[in-house]
Chain A
Amino acid sequence: MAWATLKRNWLVMQRAYPWSYFIGTLAPGVFTVVLALLSYEAIGGGRVSAWFRDSSGTPDYLGYVTVGAAALMFTTRMVLWVAKAQITEQREGTLESQLLTPARRLPYLFGVAVQAFLTSLLELACLLGTALLLGVRLPAPDPYTLLVGVLAAFVAVVGLSIPVSAIMIAAGEAHVTQNTLFCLVGLVCGCTFPPALLPDPLAWVGELLPVTSALRVLRAASLHAAPLGQVTVDLLLCLGLGAAYVAVGLLILPYAERRAITRGASA
């Protein structure tokens, strides 16, 4: 089931790659890096404040923002693929033929997610390549921690996408839901500035989103070459939250699907 969906999505992506989504998510990532570069040089004079160094744990502002922008792009792209998978089926008229089958949802979503993951990694390479061209230099990461961090980010974002998918099909709407999530992640997860700058309630909301802890693992791996042992707490927090979102998503998805079908039938 997962393999069949992965193959199906791969074929569809090859035949109709969503260029507008790619450009729509790459451009903000590049702008974020460019703005950080300009403000770092023009306003900060190539230096960061002691407050930033203390609260972010690094004096490398450009590296901090580049990893954050990459994480935000990864989250956006994955959500656009995974959370929108079912509402896209609904709009294209195939949701019912899916729900008629005995296939389970998790393997289906996993198949969509693996295709999205592979595609998003290639797209992320475009962002990181652009950042390199702009003069951003990242230190050599710890490969194991980075690999585990990327996988944890995968679990986190897929987990987050499942309840979002349920909300989308139940509401019959995608744009408001997805853009609210993107704004929230961009604001509270520490993508471009340390969450310490946020009021406490917003910082706690950020901690409830697994992207925040995933980002800490990714920064530790890529900016500090931290070994796996140093990121265990954040790793477990990220995986735990991701698993919790998966569980909640799978619990509410059948209700959302029935609501979507009922709305279609009674319309």
Chain B
Amino acid sequence: MEHESALEQMNKPAMKKSLSHGGLEVVQILLLFVAAFFLSQPRVWGFAVMPQHASGNRILENVSLWHDASIRVILAYDGVANRSLAYDESSTLNAPDKEKAAVGERSHFADFVKTVAAETTTLETTPLKGVQLNKVIGDTTSDAIASRYPAALREVPFDTVGGTRISDVVPLDGSNIAIESKVGLTSLDSRIRQELARDWWLARQGQVNTMWEFTPSPITGEVGPTSALLQKLQKLQIPYKINQ
């Protein structure tokens, strides 16, 4: 009892101190320091640069995700990987040759793949497929876009005359833009028409200008709007960007 009491006596002042006004200010300054010096740098999502042996997991019938506990994460899929990824001779991966594609330096796709690394813990235990994998790829792509900005919000709702529009990324840089992320080939279907109408309305109202950004699908290798969607984007004067 005496021992517990002594500990309590030792902890109480410390707790009070950590919650004091001065303590909070120190924390805030430290956070600002971190934000100023680290957030503007490309993120490596917490993986060490030191290469190690790879481990992998098959996440679809013809898709494997390999990682080597470094920033290298490999999405290997028959016949497509080399189209988007530059082979890295220094890779120490143990994956089979055909699955041994390394991430290219600084490419957008590489950034995308790095973000997939954040999901590898889940992938190790629960192989993703179908719709679940679809969501992971979509989310990580949007996260990669958001990471380009010192500060940005994800999945931001805007009210429109036709209903709610949820923007994938809204940078907090005063630019008044939002980014709609699309992975793979995107066609002008019923849902896309609704999104376009709402984005057009938001721009016309001066609320926010949405830019559509297209990223290659790691599964099919396809990217961009179809011809019909491209024409619609141009007609509505909605800016777009196609990553290769």
Bound pair: A and B?
no
Give chain B's interface residues, CB within 8 Å of chain A: none
Give chain A's interface residues, CB within 8 Å of chain B: none
